[in-house]
Amino acid sequence: MTDNTAAIIVHEHTRQFHLTNGRISYVFHADGQGKLINLYFGAAVPDREDFSYLTEVTHSPTTTCRIPGNLTYTLERMRQEFPEYGGGDYRRPALEVRQGNGSTLTDLTYAGGYRIIAGKPRLAGLPATYVEHDDEATTLEIELIDRPTGLTVILQYTIFRDQPVIARSVRITNGGGEPVSLERVMSLNLDLPDRNYTMTEFAGAWARERHPHTQPLHYGVQQIESLRNASGHFLNPCAVFARPATTESQGEAIGVAFEYSGNFDLHAEVDTFDVTRVQVGINDFGFSWRLAPGETFQSPEALLAFSAEGLTGLSHAFHRTVLEHIVRGPWKRRERPVLINNWEATYFDFNEDRLVDIARTARNAGIELFVLDDGWFGARNDDTAGLGDWRPNPRRLPNGLASLARRVNDLGMRFGLWFEPEAVNADSDLYRAHPDWAIRTPHRKPSHGRNEYLLNFADAAVVDNIFEQMSALLGSANISYIKWDMNRFVSEGYDLSRDAEHQGEAYHRYILGVYDLLERLLTAFPELIIEGCASGGGRFDMGMLFYTPQIWCSDDSDAIERLKIQYGTSMFYPLSTMGAHVSITPNHQTMRSAPLATRANVAAFGTFGYELDLGRLSDAELDEVHRQVAWFKRYREILHTGDFHRLIAPYGNEKAAWMVVSRDRHTAIVGDYRLLITPNGAFTRLALRGLDAGLTYKVDCTGASSIAGRSFTGAELMRIGLVDSDASCGQMDDVNPLGVTTDFSSRLFVLTAD
């Protein structure tokens, strides 16, 4: 085993495959029946020719056996790589294929076919991890064959050199003579040897997305899923399986994330022998994919990570993977612009001059990008009309978009624009011309959401039309950024462009159409930054990040709620992906009033921006905004590329804290938030993490602090902690005579190594 290389060690004699990079080992073999059996996944172990002692072959009463006369070989006891129903395995299968005779049984076996590829091949039409140089990863493809149908299944595994992460996907080719229908295709199956895990899912709703919830695994199936054809606000397509004693800084954890934006199924099934089967893939509800002879189906990709250093280690693995192997294009390494968005400032009530006023005030505060949100197009005067007509609204922008873009550019700012490409209002020219382009099931009433319908993105003609409209507009003015919104979910999924036998494909083809449009836009306009959005964070997933390097985290811009949302989001997604804005007070979603400093101190741990009418702020507040923007620009690179550590969770606590440490560990930024005051409270210290114990750090603070200006070793700051209980949290003005700060106060500490 070589450290820090993505090695795939094959032992032909034992038909064993060992994927390792010095941090993790993933081992499986093909047994005597040609079945792929998982042997180990976890921290790296030295290679050996034969790990098969890790499979137990024993007689278990009532099990169903495959080999005549043999009562010990039963698939029910096997930890399989890609299980099917039949042959004695009664757990959920990874594959179901309906054949001409009505059966869905297959019996995939390995016949010696595999190949090792330097680097990582692209997955046609789908988001997937990638490498810039072939030495960053190694890929294994294993071929399985079902002889009666002629189906070939290729399991693809990529191990990365620098991360404890494995990417997996499945490719199925119909090599037989008759069409078949894929009814269920999981992208990843992982059978773990016991059930001693907790499962953490990230759940919520509009305005309170991705709060972590943890429960011990129990017998049977525990599942998270979406049937909205979007990852959705409710459950995010990722989960953590951790040993019960695992904390942020220690213990074992396995993370699973699906790089897909449609209907998903992520579940763990604990079986009768205490094996935990984890699966993730396209939800099989309503799914079927007709595969004619010679055709191939490519599944989306899933990511699997292992950490022996607690949840933080797991987050760092996913964050690095997103930054290095998912986000791409010129904005992968560029600093993201600080933006101002007009939505909460004006809603639908704006004209060109009002927008330019907002942009000018923002420019004076150092803001770099002006984003024009909903309402600029078609006959969009409220949310009942206009979606689908992507040309300037003559009532609001009589001079067109180019004029506004030029005036914004002349201020020295970039210009950005909101779209909801997948949506259409019945009151639109597009709908009047093509009512059959909106998704509906024949003879049934379509439902609306926010007065809108979704276009059938499974139909290439629809995607072509929207591409033509958007690219004409993007070519007509200097537009650097688009906000890609999506404000309702698919409800009566049907593809009017295809016949009955292809209807099970409608949802997945829709998502492929979304990816296709994103890819075409990025190819035509490679400098564009696309920020994802779906009524806030309703489509925050690894799949979208392949196209949109940042995603609006939530429509909830209240700083205190945002702590909870961004804290949960950070388990899988790095700060540079989280759209986060400072908004007005009282907040429009919660009516809560948090200090301007706190609103900025939370948004700084994301892609920083503002979403309010700066013209309504006092001069003192504008000065403060100016200082905040300058502060953020100074530390933006560290915030977006450093290592993030969660220190105190905001759920049910009166405090919250997190920090970022630069890659060289010379600078650290600590966000220290007081949710509710504790009068006459304790003397507290905040134990920091990720610093260099041997370095000495000078402490600066954006608010008042008794330790500002003093120096401490990394060892002191991590083992004793940063004294954070002095009453001066926030601005001195916030401190009452008893020495108590206000609710919702906060401050940022910057630690710089001498």
Task: Give the residue numbers annotated as catalytic, written as ranges.
Answer: 485, 555
- Structure tokens of 505? 């494909």
- Residue placing its CB nearer to ligand GLA in the complex, 323 or 345: 345
- Residue placing its CB nearer to ligand GLA in the complex, 431 or 552: 552
Measured CA to CA in angstroms, residue 303 lies from 56, 81, 130, 263 at distances of 28, 15, 12, 17
Question: Minimal distance in Å, beta carbon 122 to ligand GLA?
Answer: 31
Question: Minimal distance in Å, beta carbon 601 to ligand GLA?
Answer: 21
Q: Please select the residue that binds ligand GLA; options are 378, 536, 543, 574, rule is CB under 6 A.
A: 536
> How far, rounded to the nearest angstrom, does the alpha carbon of residue 150 sit from its chain's CA centroid?
36
Give the residue closest to ligand GLA by C-beta: 374
- Residue placing its CB nearer to ligand GLA in the complex, 450 or 634: 450
65 is in an annotated binding site: no
SS3 label, residue 248: coil
Residue 533 binds ligand GLA (CB under 6 A): yes
Interface region with ligand GLA, contact rule CB under 6 A, candidates 262-270, 317-325, 528-536, 676-684: 528-536
Question: CA-to-CA distance for 491 and 514, rounded, in angstroms?
Answer: 17
Footprint on residues 298-357 left by ligand GLA (CB under 6 A)? 343
Question: CA-to-CA distance for 731 and 464, rounded, in angstroms?
Answer: 54
Question: CA-to-CA distance for 16 and 112, rounded, in angstroms?
Answer: 11
533 is in an annotated binding site: yes
Asked if 73 and 57 touch (Cβ cutoff 8 Å), the reply is yes
Question: CA-to-CA distance for 318 and 39, rounded, in angstroms?
Answer: 24
Going residue by residue from 488 to 527, which x/- string records binding to ligand GLA, judged by CB under 6 A? ----------------------------------------
- Structure tokens of 377? 């197009």
# of chain residues touching ligand GLA (CB under 6 A): 11
- Residue placing its CB nearer to ligand GLA in the complex, 258 or 484: 484
Nearest alpha carbon to residue 289 among 440, 543, 507: 507
Asked if 592 and 586 touch (Cβ cutoff 8 Å), the reply is yes
Residue 535 binds ligand GLA (CB under 6 A): yes
Measured CA to CA in angstroms, residue 681 lies from 634, 724, 725, 726 at distances of 34, 12, 8, 10
Question: Minimal distance in Å, beta carbon 331 to ligand GLA?
Answer: 20
Residue 374 binds ligand GLA (CB under 6 A): yes
Q: Match 């949710």 to its residue by tokens.
A: 675
485 is in an annotated binding site: yes
Residue 209 binds ligand GLA (CB under 6 A): no
- Residue placing its CB nearer to ligand GLA in the complex, 485 or 505: 485
Interface region with ligand GLA, contact rule CB under 6 A, candidates 22-30, 42-50, 328-336, 530-538: 530-538
Footprint on residues 471-490 left by ligand GLA (CB under 6 A)? 485, 487
Q: Match 């895990």 to its residue by tokens.
A: 197
Residue 418 binds ligand GLA (CB under 6 A): yes
Asked if 329 and 654 touch (Cβ cutoff 8 Å), the reply is no
Question: Minimal distance in Å, beta carbon 334 to ligand GLA?
Answer: 23
Beta strands in 402-462 (DSSP E): 414-419, 423-424, 453-454
Question: CA-to-CA distance for 474 and 481, rounded, in angstroms?
Answer: 10
Going residue by residue from 545 to 564, which x/- string records binding to ligand GLA, judged by CB under 6 A? -------x--x---------
Q: Please select the residue that binds ligand GLA; options are 373, 505, 531, 672, rule is CB under 6 A.
A: 373
Helix axis angle, 460-476 relative to 400-410, nearest 10°?
50
Question: Minimal distance in Å, beta carbon 420 to ligand GLA?
Answer: 7
Beta strands in 31-118 (DSSP E): 36-43, 95-98, 109-118
Contacts 24+ apart (CB under 8 A), 713-721: 714/665, 717/688, 717/691, 717/751, 718/687, 718/688, 718/689, 718/691, 718/693, 719/687, 720/685, 720/687, 721/684, 721/685, 721/686, 721/687, 721/688
701 is in an annotated binding site: no
427 is in an annotated binding site: no
- Residue placing its CB nearer to ligand GLA in the complex, 482 or 688: 482
Question: Minimal distance in Å, beta carbon 554 to ligand GLA?
Answer: 8
Question: Minimal distance in Å, beta carbon 486 to ligand GLA?
Answer: 9
Question: Minimal distance in Å, beta carbon 374 to ligand GLA?
Answer: 3
Binding-site positions read 206, 373-374, 450, 483-487, 533, 555
Binding-site positions for substrate read 206, 373-374, 450, 483-487, 533, 555
Residues near ligand GLA, by CB under 6 A: 343, 373-374, 418, 485, 487, 533, 535-536, 552, 555
